[in-house]
Amino acid sequence: MKLDSMKGLRRTNYCSVDYKIGETVTVMGFADRVRDMGNLIFINLRDRTGLVQLAFNDETDRTVFEKAQSVRSEYVLAAVGVVRERESKNPKLRTGNIEIAVSELRILSAAQTTPFEVTNSDKVNDELKLRYRYLDLRNPRLTKNLITRHEIARVTREYFYENGFLEIETPMMMKSTPEGARDYLVPSRVHHGKFYALPQSPQIYKQLLMVAGFDRYIQLARCFRDEDLRADRQPEFTQVDLEMSFVDQEDIQEVIEGYIKTLFKKVLDKDIKLPIERLTFADAMDRFGSDKPDTRFGLEIEDITDKVKDIDFVVFNNAVADGGSVRMINVKNGAATYTRKEIDKLTEHAKGIGAKGLAYIRWADEPNCSFKKFLGEGQLEKLLSDIGAEKGDLILICADKNKVVLPTLGALRLICAKRLDLIPEDVYNFVWITEMPFFEWDEENESWVAMHHPFTMPMEECLEYLDSDPGNVRAKAWDLVLNGTELSSGSMRITDPALQQKMFEALGMSDEEIEAKFGFLVDAYRYASPPHGGMGIGLDRIAMIICKADSLRDVTAFPKVQNASELMSGCPSAVDEKQLEELHIAVTPEEKE
């Protein structure tokens, strides 16, 4: 087929715009659907904005009509014609009331039969779609997602510019420093045996920008983490990274609340109520069993330790004696849905999290209690009254140490809410989680590690616990959570070199290790630093939620799969031996793929 050129043509309109009847327009795009009805041909032309119908009939020039007959799906076309009212209107399309009577048609590129129907790609398996990602991106749903992501980035930049922030780029190749995940390493050709690291975040550099006097920094930063993937995690991602000087925690949160309100209004036309609710980490765990709680529904966890203290049930008694507690969630009207078989599934799920089992009371016609044989006369009736249970309720009870009980019931409340359709759509519940623990215990290495990063400022009243009780040290750190998804983490930073040294030591780092990994930062603080803090907000996760996507893949142009490979290009891949020689790197044969 002889292809046409664009010479002499200039696009006047995108496909899905407002047209005026009688105007002559030039449109360009992909052939979405071709309907050849003999003496009538209709082609839906598609570009990133949507569809418009091209019409050909008996009045069309024969050469143009015959060219239209040769068009197949996904051909790239340019069409010139007059806008007219459409006889058979399509209310589902923005342009459903008009069509373009084509007087000139050019085939700019011909497509062979695609491996799947582009507009129906949602029904195609993921592996095939990712192999031909450039075709899948023509799907209007994914096209819309990426346009929305662009809009999020645009609004983000505009908001922070208007609030006095400077956008400053930080290095993409940096020193490897501990950030909580594995680094992606880049070997140096010049410095044999040495490596750059791709940034897990611009954390240290943005703090140094505060030392340098740039008191409001913003960057849409690309970040890299070599960790196991899941629906809301990719090895490379974009972070709305910011840092502010001469502020406290409330100042930073106020700026972010303004950003969230602006973003959701401009992108979704949704009004977010301010101020955003605040929960301490301890309260969030007690009520929801999670430090990223979904607060769109109830099913809150209740501590019933005192209410069961007189029940002679060894599971409850042992849990309390071991320093734990007995807690429950009341799944209102859950008895009808959750049969014994379904409750057994919940029990297996609880065991998978770490619980030894799950006690329950299912009140259908009569209360059915899994530990009834341990109850004395009238104890079941008293317990039901004490916990406020009613006919139709399902009570799920877990007894163990709090580190087991809380996440177990936290997970079960989500499962039950989904099953009973308790989670409302188009509701955006933000919550600040504050007073995060500074340290968490690493079971594998049997040591305390920083929950956020070692530059986080501890709360002043907790400094006395640094040596004696690290688990009781709370940080000036906070997370922003939306509908059960963590969007952001932030903290105030340590600027006192002596305190920073003490925090490093509390994390078990030697003087030599501190100097090797963070010496340049510690040195910088010796030349004075304004008080500062900041946050990193996951732009990808915001886009995922706004687009109602199930995975970050749906808001990422060219995503990786679970094993961190990219199916379309085939990366990662082997490289030439010459390249390895230049880098003084050898790959052992058994490691080659």
Token pair 């008191």 is found at 215
Given a cut of 80, whether residue 592 has pLDDT beyond it is: no
- CA nearest to 380, candidates 404, 362, 398: 362
Omega cis (within 30) before 171? no
Token couple for 184:
């992606």
Rg (CA), the chain: 30
**Nearest alpha carbon to residue 192 among 591, 486, 527, 586:** 586
Q: Residues 303-312: what's their mean pLDDT?
A: 94
Tell me: pLDDT of 478 over 90.
Answer: yes
268, 455 in Cβ contact below 8 A? no
What mean pLDDT comes out for the span 405-418? 97
Q: Which residue has the higher pLDDT, 57 or 514?
A: 57
Question: Is the pLDDT at 167 greater than 90, yes or no?
Answer: yes
pLDDT exceeds cutoff 70 at 85: yes
Q: Which residue has the higher pLDDT, 581 or 468?
A: 581
Over the stretch 331-361, which tens digit does the pLDDT of each residue have?
A: 999 999 999 999 999 999 999 999 999 999 9
Q: How much is the mean pLDDT over the chain?
A: 93
pLDDT at position 288: 98
Burial, 454: exposed, middle or buried (Cβ in 10 Å; 0-12, 13-18, 19+)? buried
Q: What is the DSSP string of 191-239?
A: STT-EEE--S-SHHHHHHHHHTT--EEEEEEEEE-BS--BTTB-SEEEE
Nearest Cα residue to 390 out of 429, 332, 351: 332
Range in 100-104, 486-490, 509-513 the model is least confident about? 509-513
Give the per-residue pLDDT at 500. 86
Among residues 23, 46, 17, 9, the alpha carbon closest in space to that of 101 is found at: 23
Residue 178's pLDDT is: 67
Q: Give the residue among 15, 11, 14, 20 at the shortest CA–CA distance from 85.
A: 20
pLDDT of 570 strictly over 70: yes
Confidence band, pLDDT 50/70/90 cuts, at residue 299: very high
For residue 563, how many other CB atoms are within 10 A of its CB? 8
- Mean pLDDT of the 213-233 span: 91
pTM exceeds 0.85: yes
**For residue 9, what are the CA distances in angstroms to 62, 99, 105, 538?**
21, 20, 11, 42
Tokens of 256: 């972010």
Q: Which of 204, 222, 208, 202 is nearest to 153 (CA)?
A: 222
With cut-offs at 50, 70 and 90, classify the pLDDT of residue 511.
confident
Predicted confidence (pLDDT) per residue in 317-329, tens digit? 999 999 999 999 9
* Share above pLDDT 70 across residues of the chain, in percent, rounded to a whole number: 98
**What is the tens place of the pLDDT at every residue in 115-155?**
999 988 888 999 999 999 999 999 999 999 999 999 999 99
Band (440; pLDDT cuts 50, 70, 90): confident
Res 522: pLDDT: 86
Q: What percent of the chain has pLDDT over 90?
A: 82
pLDDT class of 450 with cuts at 50, 70, 90: confident
At 511, give phi and psi (nearest 5°).
Answer: -60, -40
Chain segment 361-380, per-residue pLDDT in tens = 999 989 999 999 999 999 99
* Amino acid letter for position 488: S
For the cut 70, the answer to whether the pLDDT of residue 179 exceeds it is no
Burial grade of 437 (CB within 10 A; 0-12, 13-18, 19 or more) = buried
The pLDDT score that the predictor gives to residue 119 is: 87
pLDDT surpassing 60 at residue 591: no
- DSSP element (H, E) containing 331: strand 325-331
Tell whether omega for the bond before 202 is within 30 degrees of 0, i.e. cis: no
- Taking residue 518's Cβ as centre, other Cβ atoms within 10 Å add up to 21
Q: What pLDDT, on the 0 to 100 scale, is given for residue 514?
A: 85
198 - beta bridge partners? none
How large is the average pLDDT for residues 506-534? 88
At 180, the pLDDT band (50, 70, 90 cuts) reads: low
